[in-house]
Every structure is written in C-alpha cells, then in structure tokens.
Chain A
Amino acid sequence: MEQIPILRIGDCLLVSIQVDMHDRMAINLQDSLTTRIVETNARGVLIDISALEIVGSFIGRMLNNIASMSRVLDAVTVVVGMRPAVAITLVELGLELPGVKTALNVDRGLLLIRRQIDDGAEHA
C-alpha cells in the first residue's frame, strides 16, 4: 500500500502530496499524520498540494479533518501550494474549508505556523 511520506522539519511536519490520492490513501494519511503529530510533538503541519490537479469534496473533507484533528493535538495546519484552477473549482464546487489555513508556498506556510505558535504562546 502506498504511503504519503511525512517529513519532519524542526517542530513541523511536512506532507507533500505528489500523487493523485485515492480515498483510502487519504484516510491512511489522516491516521498516520495524527500518529506522527503525537510521536514528534509537532506544533505545525504543512500540507503541500502543489502537485494536485483535482481536489474534490473528499480530499477537501480530508484536509478539513486533518486540520481539526491536529488542532485538537495542539498543532496548526496550513495547506500550501494550491493551484489556482483547484482553488477556483473548490469555490465553484461550493466547498468551504473553514478550519484550514492556506498559504502560498512552504516558506510562508512555515512563517504562518511560527506566528500562530508564538501568538498561542503569548495568549497562554
């Protein structure tokens, strides 16, 4: 069974989705990602979907789920690299991703996560 690799960058996890995922892969990803967050005490999750040409409602829901789960595990999720066509389609599809933060690229995503963590620390 194919796995989406999860890489660790400092206290963040980077998930780079390079293949057109089928649904089970997506569910597996959810599971393994949450496990990794706990294992590594990660504070942030970056999901790079720059290779995806099609993001349907299922993947959308998966992203939303991942965001909610990691929030519960005290990690910030940022989806980066969404293609314009995908974004337009998502809007047209009427799909909203209320819990998912997005950033243009990995660098900005990391910055966003850093800021969120810092803000969290201040409020805490």
Chain B
Amino acid sequence: MKKRILAMAMQEETDIILARQRSRTLAAELAFDGQDQTRIATAVSEIVRNVLEYAQGGRIEFWLDDGDVPVFEIVVSDTGPGIPHLEAVLEGRHRSTTGMGVGVIGARRLMDGFTMTSIPGKGTTVTLQKHLPSRTKALTSATLNRISDLVAQQAKADPVAEVRRQNQEMMLQLEELGRRGEELQILNQELSDTNRGVVALYAELEERADHLRRADQLKTRFLSNMSHEFRTPLNSIMSLSRLLLSRIDGPLASEQEKQVQFIRSAAENLTELVNNLLDIARVEAGKTVVTPKEFSVEELFGALRGMLRPILIGDAVDLVFDDANDVPLLFTDEGKVSQILRNFISNAIKFTERGEIRVWCEWNQDTQEVTFKVRDSGLGISPSDIAVIWEEFGQVAGAHQARVKGTGLGLPLARKLAELMGGTVSVESQPGTGSCFSVTLPRSMRAANVSPMPQWTVDPDKLPVLIVEDNAADSFTLERALVSTRYQPIAVQTLAHARAVLADLQPVAIVLDVMLQAEESWRLLIETRQNERTVGIPAIVVSTTHEERKARSFGADEYLDKPVDPRVLVAALDRLTGSRSTIRTLLIDDEEVSRYLIRQLLPRGAFDLTEAESAMTGIDMAARIQPDVILLDLNMPHMDGYAAIEALSNDMSLRDIPVIIATSMVLTDTERARLAKAAKIISKFDITTPILVNAIRDVVDRTVKAVA
C-alpha cells in the first residue's frame, strides 16, 4: 500500500534547499544510513534544480510503499515544456550548461529506481525510488503521521531564515571569539599586575634580607665581643684552679681536689666553646686573614700526629696517617688546614669507641686540588642528620651523644675555614660503620692570579714605561693608551715581576696601580723612592680609592683616579718625562771612569747623553748639538773647566746653556766665586742618581722658566 508522507510545491530557488533538506530528514526518519541520506538528498537536489530551471516550478511528493519490498519513493513533477531530447539526456549525451552534465544520470546512479517521463508541452515527471533498509520497523500510520507532522513543522521555518539563523550563529561565534580575546587581554593585564606585585614583593624580600644581614652582622659582632669578654674570667678560673691543684696554698682534701678538677675541666670546655665561637665570629666578620705559605702535607701530618696522639684514650682506637709523599707542596694557610683536620680528627675520636681513624690526602692533578680525608669506624651519621652537622650548634641526637659532649661548633668552623681558602667540606657516612669527612682545597691560593713573567724586548726608539696593574682589563686599557705614543708599555701583573723589570732596565716612568694588596703596592712605591737607581723615575699612581694625598706622601709624582683617560695619562707622562726625556746632556770629562759612572747613573731614555773627552771638543759639540745642559769637569788637561765655562759664556749661541760643574775637588770660596756662571756645582764624591737627576732637572727647569 502506498502512502503519501508529504507533498510540497516548488517555486523559487530556496525551495531546492528545502526539498533536499526534507528528503534528508525523511530518509533519516526512515532509518536510512548517513550515506544513503546524502545520496537521496543529492539526487533530489539534482532533479529539483532541473525542474526549477526548465519548468520554473513544480511539485515534489514523498511516498512510502510498504509492499513486499518496501520502497521510499519521491515523485518530482512539473508542467513545463517537457524535455525534447529525453533519450539523449538519459544516455548522458546531453551537455548541460548548469550542472556538470551529470545531474540526471548521476541521480539515477544514486537511487535504486529511476523513471523519467516527459511529454513535450505537458511536463515531466521523475520518480526516484530507494529500497528501505531492512532495519526499518514496520511503519504504522501513526508513525507516518508523526513523521509528516515533524517535517511540516520544520517546513514552517523559512529556509532563508534558516540560513540567516546559521549565519547569525556564526556571528555569535565570532563575537564569542572576540570576547575570548578580550578575556585573554584582561588575563594578560592581570598577569602583568601580578608580575608587578611579585617584583614589589621581591623588593620587600630584599629589604627583609637586608635586615637579616644586618641582624646577622650584629650577631657576629656581639659574638666576637662577648667571646672576648668571656675569655678573661675563664682564664682566671683556669689559672686559679691550676693554682689550687698545684697545692701552693696548702693541701686539698680528696673531695676538694675532685671538685676543683671538675671546675677546671668545665672551664676548659667553656674555653673551647668560646674559642670556637670567636673563630666563627671572626670568619663571619671577615676578620680572619688567610696567610698562605708553602708547606708539605708530610710535615703537616707529622705535626698533627704529635698534637693528637695524646688525646687518644687507651688502645682501642688507632690514629693512622697515610703516606703523603706524592702530594706536591701546598701554598695555602697551613694553620687553618691544620685546624680543620684537628676538628675532623677530634670529632672522629669522640665518636669512635674502637677501631681506626685514618687520615690521608689525595691529589688531583686535573683540578689542582687536594682532598684531605678523615675516616673513622665510629657511630656514623644518619642521612637526615648530615645537613645538620654543618650548622652551628647542630648536634645529632643519639645514645652516644649523652656520653660525648661537643660544642657543636667544630664542624661549622671547619666548613667556614675551608670556604675561606676556596675549598669545600663534605661527609659520607653510614650509620654503624663510620663516617668519612673530607675537605677539598685548591693546591695553591695564588694559582688563580699567577701569571707567567711577561716577555718583552725594549724598543730602542721608544721610552719604556713600567705598568704595574693586576687587573688584566685595566692593564690592557693602560697599554692601549700608550700605543702609538713614544712610550713603550711594559705591563706586569705582580709586584715581583715589577721588581724584576726594575732590576733589568730603567723605565722613564712607573705607572702603579694600588692593588688589592695595597700595602704591598705602597711598599713598592716606597722602595723605588729609596733606591738610588729608581728614585729618578717618575711614578704615577692610579687607583680607584682616591688616595692622592697618601700617594704623594709616599713619593708619587702624579696621581690619577681610575678609570684613567688615555690622554690624561699620556699628558702626565709627557709632563713628567717629556722635557727630561729629551734632556740632551753634554758631558765634558777627560776621565773615562767618571764618564762611565755618570753614564750609568743617568737613567737611559730620560737623558740623551753625549760625551766629550776634552773641553775643546766639548765646546765644538755644544755648538753643534745645542744641549739642554752641560756637565763639566773642572780638572782637565789643555783647557780646564774654568776656561771652558768662560769660553761657553762668551759664545752667544752657547751662553744660555746651563752648566753644572761636577768635580771631585773640594772648592775654596775663591774658586767657587770663579764659577759664578755655573748653574750648579756638585761633588763627584757622593754623586748618586737622585742627586744627579735632581740637579739636572732643577737646572733645566730653571732655564726653561727663565726663557719662558
């Protein structure tokens, strides 16, 4: 029996959509699967489009035939002009201009049954059939009514409105997206606010940390002061108890003796505590000075052995020091290394009842570090307690603790001392089998800043300037400042190297940085001022510490604040050496030895020395080279000094050249009067570099000023 489910007329384009949507809905209701729903809807779409296109309207009916083979039937009919070449269309020979030329044939392929009749002038009818899937339940009329109602209801909705609705939905989604974007922005804002908050919090934390640091400093100062205060009365107690025990003031009853012994040992314990406290306070206050020196581990072990043997009680515990012959010499603070090891060992002794305490040293060539280890066969430390033992007063609670008392300061002190020397401490321990404490230290505390002695060759065309600067970067800056000047920088990084350079050559100036070890730097400066050979070398002190007055009081000729402007440095060098470096000095002396002496005394580079063996040649030379100063001997054959000075003053071109008389004679007043034209008279007896240099500079300066 055939039942009509739905019928609708089609007039406009949007009806195509309506028709195919309905066919899809119906197919779905009739339990066709998704693929068949699409097939049916597509086929309907193809046929309906043709109807609208060729007949400008028509009608679609949906039927259900529940015969032997249940069939869903769709009949599309129009009253248009009909299809004149139906055959061609059905055979696929027709070329459509709208579709892909597959509309009708394609639709036929998609359906199970397809008939198309067309009467020219009357219209066309297309019947599409699809077998119902077997799972479709028997369709009662009630079901069919429900389906048609459903579809009719949907039909009320205008398809255009449907499209609009969907578009609106999309707009809503876009809006939603926009809102999400805004939300994100707000979130972002919140995050950056939070960030600001965190930054503010950090500042606050920093402030708190500062407070804590100050409190810590206060604590350290308190500790250090109090410990000192404690020591005095403790000393009294110890000495007094010692006095009592020595029975100088009469005998003690045995009970009394015991009591005094207790007083004494209590005082000793307290002293140890106070000493440790004081040490820690010193380290924390940065007052502990590390004084590195060279020593061998073998010697250190020897000393420790002697010190610690007496502490061992009984024979139950052995203290063994391993051979340390293969460890190279160390350059660090021996006292502090010894203190650390003493702390480790006495600790080990305290907690080891029987067995062995072994001390050895390992040398690591690669890292240039030594590791001292102290292993005991004592109680051991549980892992949870390991962190505690390095803290001040951090003692491990345990059965053994009741018997053995420590100050709780030994290990923290060891740690602090090790850190002071650039090292670390560590411990490995197994409860019950023992602990192994170790301290690792750099072999040499100077290793970091030891640089090889710089190599240089003196450039004969340049004036050597010694630069003493430990900071490589600053040194580089200073050297750079002198590039392409007439100075040759010779940079060294240590005072030892500076001394080596000074022993080797005579620079025209010294540029001295007041280094970390300021005292040493000042000492070098003072040394150069006291040494005859170097006193004439102008010294320029550069520093960040604004110590001009100090520098000048130690004899510096110039003081420059760091960072040094290259031009200022060169100007200073020019000023200090400039005129002098080109002080052309003519030496007139017949004695080879005297000439040699003065040649040696005058700093090379600062003086350009020309020598003449007689007054005659000297005067000729003076006329030729126009020296800045003439050093004149008095006692010479043929023409002596008196005559020479006379001759010089009579020559217009030579009369302005200052003359210094250098003589080994003791002059009478008359003789001095004869030499009134000489700028200065110096004695060859006690001639030294400073005397000579100062005399020449003095005279030249005066002449320059007079000329100016």
Chain A residues in contact with chain B, CB under 8 A? 2, 5, 18-20, 22-25, 53-58, 60-61, 64, 83, 85-86, 88-89, 92-96
Are the C-beta atoms of B170 and A61 separated by less than 8 Å?
A: no
- CB-defined contacts of A58 to chain B, threshold 8 Å: 45, 49, 98-99
- In angstroms, Cα B106 to Cα A29, docked, is 25
- CB-defined contacts of B167 to chain A, threshold 8 Å: 2, 18-19
Given contacts A5-B170, A93-B109, contact A57 B103 (CB under 8 A): yes
Are the C-beta atoms of B17 and A60 separated by less than 8 Å?
A: no
Are the C-beta atoms of A23 and B13 separated by less than 8 Å?
A: yes
Question: Which of B32-40, B440-448, B600-608 is the interface stretch?
Answer: B32-40
Nearest-neighbour CB distance to chain A for B167, whole angstroms, equals: 6
- In angstroms, Cα B13 to Cα A5, docked, is 21
- In angstroms, Cα B19 to Cα A56, docked, is 13
- CB-defined contacts of B45 to chain A, threshold 8 Å: 54, 56, 58
- In angstroms, Cα B105 to Cα A94, docked, is 8
Chain B residues in contact with chain A, CB under 8 A? 13-14, 16-17, 20-21, 24, 34-35, 37-39, 41-42, 45-46, 49, 98-100, 102-103, 105-107, 109-110, 159-160, 162-164, 166-167, 170
Which one, A23, A60, A85, A88, contacts B16 given CB within 8 A? A23
- CB-defined contacts of B160 to chain A, threshold 8 Å: 2
Nearest-neighbour CB distance to chain A for B170, whole angstroms, equals: 6
Are the C-beta atoms of A95 and B100 separated by less than 8 Å?
A: yes
- In angstroms, Cα B16 to Cα A27, docked, is 15
- CB-defined contacts of B17 to chain A, threshold 8 Å: 20, 22
Are the C-beta atoms of B38 and A54 separated by less than 8 Å?
A: yes
- In angstroms, Cα B35 to Cα A83, docked, is 10
Which one, B37, B49, B163, B166, contacts A56 given CB within 8 A? B49
Which one, B34, B109, B163, contacts A94 given CB within 8 A? B109
Are the C-beta atoms of B98 and A18 separated by less than 8 Å?
A: no
Are the C-beta atoms of B39 and A2 separated by less than 8 Å?
A: no
- In angstroms, Cα B335 to Cα A2, docked, is 94
- CB-defined contacts of B21 to chain A, threshold 8 Å: 20
Minimum CB distance partner of B52 in chain A:
A23
- CB-defined contacts of A23 to chain B, threshold 8 Å: 13, 16, 49
Given contacts A92-B109, A94-B106, contact A19 B34 (CB under 8 A): no
Are the C-beta atoms of B99 and A57 separated by less than 8 Å?
A: yes
Which one, A2, A25, A85, contacts B34 given CB within 8 A? A85
Are the C-beta atoms of A57 and B46 separated by less than 8 Å?
A: yes
- Tell me what chain B mostly uses at the interface: helix, strand, loop, or mixed: helix
Nearest-neighbour CB distance to chain A for B48, whole angstroms, equals: 10
Minimum CB distance partner of A85 in chain B:
B38
Which one, B39, B99, B110, B163, contacts A61 given CB within 8 A? B99
- CB-defined contacts of B13 to chain A, threshold 8 Å: 22-24
- CB-defined contacts of B39 to chain A, threshold 8 Å: 89, 92
- In angstroms, Cα B163 to Cα A123, docked, is 44
Nearest-neighbour CB distance to chain B for A90, whole angstroms, equals: 8
Which one, A20, A93, A96, contacts B163 given CB within 8 A? A20
Nearest-neighbour CB distance to chain B for A26, whole angstroms, equals: 10
- In angstroms, Cα B12 to Cα A22, docked, is 10
Minimum CB distance partner of B97 in chain A:
A61
- CB-defined contacts of A19 to chain B, threshold 8 Å: 162-163, 166-167
Minimum CB distance partner of A60 in chain B:
B100
Are the C-beta atoms of B24 and A53 separated by less than 8 Å?
A: yes
- In angstroms, Cα B38 to Cα A55, docked, is 9
Supply 28 A–B pairs (Cβ within 8 Å), ascending by A. Answer: A5-B170, A18-B167, A19-B167, A20-B20, A22-B159, A23-B49, A24-B13, A25-B163, A53-B24, A53-B38, A54-B24, A54-B41, A55-B42, A57-B46, A57-B100, A57-B102, A57-B103, A58-B98, A60-B99, A85-B35, A88-B35, A89-B39, A89-B110, A92-B109, A93-B46, A93-B102, A93-B107, A94-B109
Add 15 more A-B contacts to A22-B13, A93-B42 (CB < 8 A): A2-B163, A19-B166, A22-B159, A23-B13, A54-B41, A54-B42, A58-B45, A58-B49, A58-B98, A61-B98, A85-B34, A85-B37, A88-B35, A89-B35, A93-B107
Minimum CB distance partner of B14 in chain A:
A22
Are the C-beta atoms of B164 and A2 separated by less than 8 Å?
A: yes
Are the C-beta atoms of A95 and B106 separated by less than 8 Å?
A: yes
- In angstroms, Cα B35 to Cα A44, docked, is 31
- In angstroms, Cα B17 to Cα A22, docked, is 6
Are the C-beta atoms of A57 and B106 separated by less than 8 Å?
A: yes
Nearest-neighbour CB distance to chain A for B32, whole angstroms, equals: 11
Minimum CB distance partner of A64 in chain B:
B100
Which one, B38, B98, B105, contacts A89 given CB within 8 A? B38
- In angstroms, Cα B162 to Cα A95, docked, is 28
- CB-defined contacts of B35 to chain A, threshold 8 Å: 85, 88-89
Q: Please list the 5 inter-chain residue pairs (A to B) with the smallest Cβ-Cβ separation, ordered nearest first.
A: A93-B106, A57-B99, A56-B45, A85-B38, A19-B166
- CB-defined contacts of A92 to chain B, threshold 8 Å: 39, 106, 109-110
Are the C-beta atoms of A56 and B14 separated by less than 8 Å?
A: no
- In angstroms, Cα B21 to Cα A58, docked, is 16
- In angstroms, Cα B279 to Cα A49, docked, is 83
